[in-house]
Amino acid sequence: MAANTLLALFAVLFILLKLDPAIGSTPIIQVRSNLGIDAYKSGSVNEIKLIALFAALQYLFSWLLGLKLYVHRRQLSLVVLGITTFMLVLTPIVSDALFRVN
């Protein structure tokens, strides 16, 4: 639980501190192959903020689900928390890759 809390805080802060609201657009968010040369569409800053919101909501729901399941099935609760740990590790990695694409 403590590891997930630290990972969620790190993911949210990492994403929000890397954002530059003065730019107004972010690196590639969508690739549309049917558009040909204009296949790369830039997103807004709000779309990157949604990744931070995803990390926070994922932590919240896994925490609640882990508490509810722990009483009935301890093993399943640990699996939920383990998967959340994995996802919270991947979230800053993926967002960093999106920031580096230009």
pTM strictly above 0.85:
no
pLDDT of residue 28: 61
Kind and range of the H or E element at 57? helix 45-72
Domain ranges of the chain: 2-18+46-100
pLDDT of residue 1: 74
Query: What percent of the chain is helix, strand and coil (3-state, nearest 5)?
Result: 75, 10, 10
pLDDT of residue 79: 93
> What does the pLDDT profile of the chain (102 residues) look like in tens digits?
789 999 999 999 999 898 877 776 666 666 667 776 666 666 777 878 888 999 999 999 999 999 999 888 999 999 999 999 999 999 999 888 887 765
86: phi then psi, degrees, rounded to nearest 5: -60, -45
